[in-house]
A and B are shown apart, each in its own frame.
Chain A
Amino acid sequence: MDYTKLSILEVSKLLHDGSVTSEELTKQVLNNIKQKQNLHALTSVCEEYALKKAREVDALFKKGEKLPLLAGVPITIKDNINIKGLKTTCSSKFLENFVAPYSATIVEKLEQNYAVIVGKNNLDEFAMGSSTENSAFFTTPNPYNLEYVSGGSSGGSACAVAANLGFAGVGTDTGGSVRQPACLCGVVGLKPTYGLVSRYGIVAFASSLDQAGPLTKTVKDSAIMLNALTGYDEKEETSVKREKEDYLTSFSGSVKGIKIGLIKEIGSDGMDVEVKEKLESVIEFYKNQGAEFVELSVPFVNNALACYYILSSAEAASNLARFDGVKYGVSVFDAKNINDLYLKNRSNGFGKEVKRRIMLGNYVLSSGYYDAYYKKAKKVQKKLVEQFNKVFESCDVILTPTSPTPAFKIGEKANNPLSMYLSDVYTVPVNIAELPAISVPCGFNKMGLPIGFQLIGKKFSEKTLFNVADVYDSKNGEAK
């Protein structure tokens, strides 16, 4: 039987009752990966590492040990997250040979939950992009149509889950990089509240916006993953100290009386007609389930994108300065002097988009411009946080599309950076406001490409998000 099509919840039952072993499961997944190499969803596969873990878990199951839900379940990890002893390439030439000397805190947590990591997912280089076309190695196409993109930057993670190359993926979301590819590939993608999931060991892009998040087939699976990923980390100052919640208790099955907000400033400009239609059907669905809809005003929501490009580029320019080829990374050996070494290593090692962000970032931070750009963007951010806090006084969650369009063709936006950036227009305000949000699949367009909707919650309201999302997902999605 092909177990790889199942959800985590389903396959976990079978593992726990002995119907299948982790080794068998892992071998099936590894086989899928081999069969679907043309998807380029993975930059590396760690077969030995995975089978070793799978066998360990099987031995524990046999002993009758009580194991967590994730035990024995094969998953994949975005290749900007460190796993000790394995390569972390960030899909960049610069790090193509870098072997991580330590593991990210979230990897330690997943391993404590006995998850079986089978490989690292392809991404836009250093997580900068919305299509995974910026990977230095290969693009990850859409599993539903190979001529289209899988979204980005966690395109590899989303594609892997959709193509059954693992039961979940862990991605990172800075401006939509978990939610948008999840949407384009027809899977569930969650960006937790900033500070809820540890950033330690995740290669930093924009420190004040990055959050790791799970990509799964169902909303309930997302809750299982979040349970494993959360927890205060003393190795990170921005990690939030709060009691761990059990997200599996989120599901009441009802949205009666739930207030869902619609932001009036989010117009339909640039929104694909079919995306708009699908959104309206989602609204109908929730109305029929007893939810109330309210109109809200978040005046600065359309300034979020500009804010994002300033803040994320500035922080990225600084975060990526450490890549100099001295401590690690690919380096030339014929540099005339240290300055020459830096110039050559960085120019050879980074791709076009990464260089673009570094240049923009250093421009906005440079002398004479810091006040007008970075400092100003920080102030706009604070106002946006205030405005969202205010609207959450009148609603429980906010509904928007995840992406203005379904997947676009590979190469279509590659030469127009600004148009690429605009695909983040609904997801970016969430990162800027440090809020949680989940993308849920809600059908396909005429071409068979997935469409998704986004639910945004107030800080630390993941339980509410899961509940509302699951009511739709369990009745319409994979898990029905």
Chain B
Amino acid sequence: MKYDTVIGLEVHCELKTKTKCFCGCKNNFGDEPNSNCCPVCLGFPGALPVLNKTAVEYAIMAGLAFNCSINNETVFERKNYFYPDLSKAYQISQLEKPLCVNGYVEINVNGTTKKIRLNRIHLEEDAGKLIHDGMGGTVVDYNRGGVPLIEIVTEPDIASADEAIAFLETLKNTIAYTGISDVKMEEGSLRCDVNLSVKPAGSNQLGTRTEMKNLNSFKAVFRAINYEQKRQIEEIEDGHEIVQETLRWDDALGESKSMRSKEDSQDYRYFPDPDLLPVYISNEEIAEIKSKLPILPNELKAKYVSYGLSDYDAGLLVETKNISDYFNEVLTHISNPKLVANFIINETMRKLKDDNTNKIDAKNLAELLLLIDKNEISSTAGKQVFEKMWETGKSAGELVEQLGLKQLNNDDEILKMVLEAISNFPQSVADYKNGKTSAIGFLVGQVMKNSKGKANPQKVSLMLKEELEK
């Protein structure tokens, strides 16, 4: 029996505003516990929330980046439940009239494109952090409490772990381009819950779904989906029913455990927050926000193609914002997109596979590439210098001097060596004149050897040809 897996994701993304969603406290990761807090985000008696304009604008930007409709009227509700990281015992969130509805994310898995539809993107506040104190207790830090989040909810269009990862990577990268979030899963600015069910292949009836939480990396999401998919299928084949429950993923053990039993189903008692006014957003304001949206991956890719890059190379460059930013910056110092793209794709990206930080800044790479571009060093020499630059942090100019890699461009000197080679290797000359055009390769090689690799190979080749044709 074959099964289809049906997956919906709920992704939470922290917005990089200066202040929290409902108060003027600093929105910052890693500060001393409870040092960025005030009566509002601490839930002190008498405190009141005041909505952050930039948080709303950023949420709208996310909606526009993913092709959503933006609601002109939007309302905030209270989601009531008790948990120590929730200082007011309610989270200010959105239910009936969220900021953004519908929309989609286009993903590419093994060459196939697929549209994953979005149900909504809404704005809400984050909860604080629970820290286990190592002695059987827990300590609460409310610094993160009140930080603005967007919640992105997909339709159950995702069919596999691969698709889920492709979705998350595309989502993460596109959001990075908007600038509204750091999207660092390891810092918690990007979080993902997975809703998964299985059904007999081709069937129209959806199975019972489970919800998985505590997925702290893309790898964990991948593993958890495969685990849960397998577990549900096994349960069904054993004749058991799937229990609708929330599961906590343990990445170290590679398994999930039930968090809440069916009986404890939460009644959040949503109602519009009486302390917050509904917000009106005009179509003009939406258009203005759209016009200020930074360039997104698709558009940027098209731009690169217009520079003369291949579709494939352009695609590689926009895949991560850091890379395209780097590419753009290098291009401000040297106007040879193909050369720059070549080096970044084949050299920089290759090194980054093993090394997390780009050891060569844009200006320095540009310096190296200018040397190649002006034929002052050969392309091969360039690669050598690149390696040394990565290792030592020294500049291209310095290293070229140090390694004596400066290309020989002087026509007279090259001519001298060309004539030498012609006189030293009459057999090759004769072969060439007799139609064996490839014999020139040997002669080029000899000149290169003679010049210790420094002669400009294109010039050598040209001059040899000229002399041989005489």
Contacts and interface: CB of A to CB of B under 8 A. Distances in A.
A339 B269 CA distance: 19
**Interface range on chain A (Cβ under 8 Å from partner):** 35 or more
Contacts of A326: 84, 140
A234 B45 contact: no
A20 B158 CA distance: 80
A445 interface: no
A338 interface: yes
A98 interface: yes
Contacts of B42: 327
B50 A237 contact: yes
A320 to B, nearest CB: 9
A202 B82 contact: no
Contacts of A374: 271
Nearest to A81: B46
Given A326-B140, A367-B269, A321 B45 contact: no
A100 B44 CA distance: 9
A362 B82 CA distance: 13
A234 B46 contact: no
A173 interface: no
A147 interface: no
Contacts of B80: 318, 321, 365
Interface string B310-341: 00000000000000000000000000000000
B47 interface: yes
Contacts of B82: 321, 324, 339, 342
B49 interface: yes
A88 interface: yes
Contact of A367 (B49, B267, B277): B267
B44 A102 contact: yes
Interface in B49-66: 49-51
Interface centre among B45, B140, B277 (most CB of A within 10 A): B45
Interface string A234-269: 111110000000000000000000000000000000
Contacts of B84: 324, 326, 338
B274 to A, nearest CB: 4
B302 interface: no
A370 interface: yes
A237 B51 contact: yes
A442 interface: no
A318 B78 contact: yes
A203 interface: yes
Given A314-B271, A365-B80, A95 B45 contact: yes
Contact of B44 (A318, A327, A339): A327
B87 interface: yes
B275 A238 contact: yes
A302 interface: no
A207 B271 contact: no
B244 to A, nearest CB: 16
Contacts of A95: 45
B90 interface: yes
B295 interface: no
Contacts of B78: 318
B430 interface: no
Interface in B22-77: 39, 42-51
A128 to B, nearest CB: 14
B50 A207 contact: no
B137 to A, nearest CB: 11
A322 interface: yes
A132 B127 CA distance: 36
A90 interface: yes
**B-side interface mostly:** loop
B271 A365 contact: yes
B12 interface: no
B209 interface: no
B41 to A, nearest CB: 11
Contacts of A314: 271
A389 interface: no
Contacts of A81: 46
A208 B78 CA distance: 14
Contacts of B45: 80, 82, 88, 90, 95, 98, 203-204, 322-323, 328
A235 B50 contact: yes
Interface string A67-88: 0000000000000111000001
A304 interface: no
B89 interface: yes
B269 A370 contact: yes
Interface string B250-284: 00000000000000000101110011110000000
Contacts of B267: 366-367
A201 interface: yes
Interface in A88-115: 88, 90, 95, 98, 100-102, 104
B24 to A, nearest CB: 9
A235 B267 CA distance: 30
A388 interface: no
A315 B269 CA distance: 11
B274 A208 contact: yes
A234 B274 CA distance: 16
Q: Which of B78, B82, B140 has the most CB of A within 10 A?
A: B82
A327 B87 contact: yes
A220 interface: no
A354 B269 CA distance: 19
B178 to A, nearest CB: 27
B90 A321 contact: yes
A308 interface: no
A324 B89 CA distance: 8
A237 B45 CA distance: 17
Contacts of A370: 269-271
A184 B394 CA distance: 87
Given A321-B90, A367-B267, A237 B275 contact: yes
B343 to A, nearest CB: 53
B88 interface: yes
Interface string B89-115: 110000000000000000000000000
A242 to B, nearest CB: 15
Nearest to A315: B274
A453 interface: no
A340 to B, nearest CB: 12
Contacts of B48: 199-200, 204, 235-237
Given A102-B39, A237-B276, A318-B80, A200 B88 contact: no
Nearest to A102: B39
Nearest to A199: B48
Interface in A279-302: none
A350 to B, nearest CB: 14
A236 B22 CA distance: 11
B89 to A, nearest CB: 3
B269 A200 contact: no
A199 B51 CA distance: 16
Contacts of B140: 326
B44 A328 contact: yes
Give the interface centre of B39, B44, B87, B276 by most chain A CB atoms within 10 Å. Answer: B44
Interface of A: 80-82, 88, 90, 95, 98, 100-102, 104, 199-204, 206-208, 234-238, 314-315, 318, 321-324, 326-328, 338-339, 342, 362, 365-367, 370, 374
Interface of B: 39, 42-51, 78, 80, 82, 84, 87-90, 140, 267, 269-271, 274-277
Given A204-B46, A321-B82, 15 more contacts: A80-B45, A102-B39, A102-B44, A201-B39, A203-B45, A204-B45, A204-B275, A207-B275, A237-B50, A318-B89, A321-B80, A326-B140, A365-B269, A370-B269, A370-B270
10 contacts: A102-B39, A104-B46, A203-B45, A206-B274, A315-B274, A318-B90, A318-B269, A321-B90, A327-B44, A328-B45
The 6 closest A-B pairs by CB, nearest first: A321-B89, A365-B269, A207-B274, A208-B274, A203-B45, A322-B43
